[in-house]
Amino acid sequence: MIASQVFSVNTEQRWRKLTWEEVRQVLRAGFAEWQTLPDSVLTDNEMGLGGNPNDPFPSWLSLYLAGLGIKHNFIRSHRPTDQPQVERNHRTLDGLTEDESSRQDLVSFQRSLDQERHMYNYEFPSRASDCSGYPPLQAHPELLRPRRPYRAELEAILFDMQHVYHYLAGFTFERKVNRNGQVTLKGHPYTVGLAHKEKQVLVRLDEQTQEWMFLERDEQGQECELNRRPLFGLDFFSLTGLEKPIGLAHLPPIQLTLPLAP
């Protein structure tokens, strides 16, 4: 069990979806506790995680993960059985913390979740096929050795906007230019030009200049560039919520473990 975190719910239905910033908060807690970044994160396709299902533009969460060099994978739509361990994990934790004392308030609930998760990982015999009846971290002690070292105070350095630009550059978006000569990308309007209103255009990011390229495909299938506009509304702070470090002198050293060639 990687991480578990409680959040307040004040809706009449007594449930709500987490915001993507709250999901980012849980992921950070997991990265910090295990002192490593994963290679990938698997989630379902709900809008707060995967973005608008009618628009291939990546979600804020996908872009945040890209900046840390983490691939965002998705289960198939409406197929929770693609991640049965997660669904079973929810049931297990819910059962372990259903006593009255655990749910007095958020602080008590979080403390109980942390205790039960620690017991499950370190002490509770697992019936998983690759654990042979041992607790998960006894069966797999390699999980305690960070592969991509992470500390919360170093995230601002580990996060690389160039990774985000490179990731975005792999997409081509289709947009129809409105009567004002504009298209919208991630909620921001960009002017293509009145001469191109009502046209169907392709949009691609130039990762070197951080500019959106607006393209039209001719009858022969060749792409012709119509215009360029600087990328805005998508920056370091909007993705991380952190201030970009000015210098490195004030930061503590970090120990990196590197494999030696035989």
Question: CA-CA distance, 43 to 83, in Å (whole number)?
Answer: 8
Question: CA-CA distance, 65 to 83, in Å (whole number)?
Answer: 19
Residue 87 has pLDDT above 90, yes or no: no
Residue that is written with structure tokens 């059985």 in the block: 81
For residue 133, the model assigns a pLDDT of 95
Residue that is written with structure tokens 């942390």 in the block: 114
The distance from CA 236 to its chain's CA centroid, rounded to whole angstroms, is 14
Question: CA-CA distance, 90 to 87, in Å (whole number)?
Answer: 5
Q: What is the pTM of this model?
A: 0.88
Question: Integer distance in angstroms from the first to the last C-alpha of the chain?
Answer: 34
What are the DSSP E strand ranges found in the chain?
40-43, 71-74, 173-176, 182-185, 188-191, 200-206, 211-217, 223-230
Extents of the domains making up the chain: 20-159, 162-240
Write the CATH number of the domain with boundaries 20-159.
3.30.420.10
Question: CA-CA distance, 121 to 168, in Å (whole number)?
Answer: 37
Residue 255 has pLDDT above 80, yes or no: no
51-70 pLDDT, tens digit each:
888 899 999 999 999 999 99
Average pLDDT over residues 241-251: 71
What Cα–Cα distance (Å) separates residue 237 from each residue in 150, 186, 245?
19, 16, 11
Question: CA-CA distance, 180 to 194, in Å (whole number)?
Answer: 6
154-169 pLDDT, tens digit each:
999 999 999 999 999 9
Tell me the residue length of the chain.
262
- Which tokens in the block code for residue 161? 């906007």
**Vertex 164: Cα angle to 201 and 213 (nearest 5):** 25
Question: CA-CA distance, 115 to 119, in Å (whole number)?
Answer: 6
189-216 pLDDT, tens digit each:
999 999 999 999 999 999 999 999 999 9
Residue pair 51/59 in contact (Cβ under 8 Å)? The answer is: yes
**Vertex 254: Cα angle to 249 and 258 (nearest 5):** 135
249 confidence band (pLDDT: 50, 70, 90): very low
Question: CA-CA distance, 232 to 100, in Å (whole number)?
Answer: 49
Phi, psi of 248 (to 5 degrees): -105, -5
Average pLDDT over residues 98-109: 86
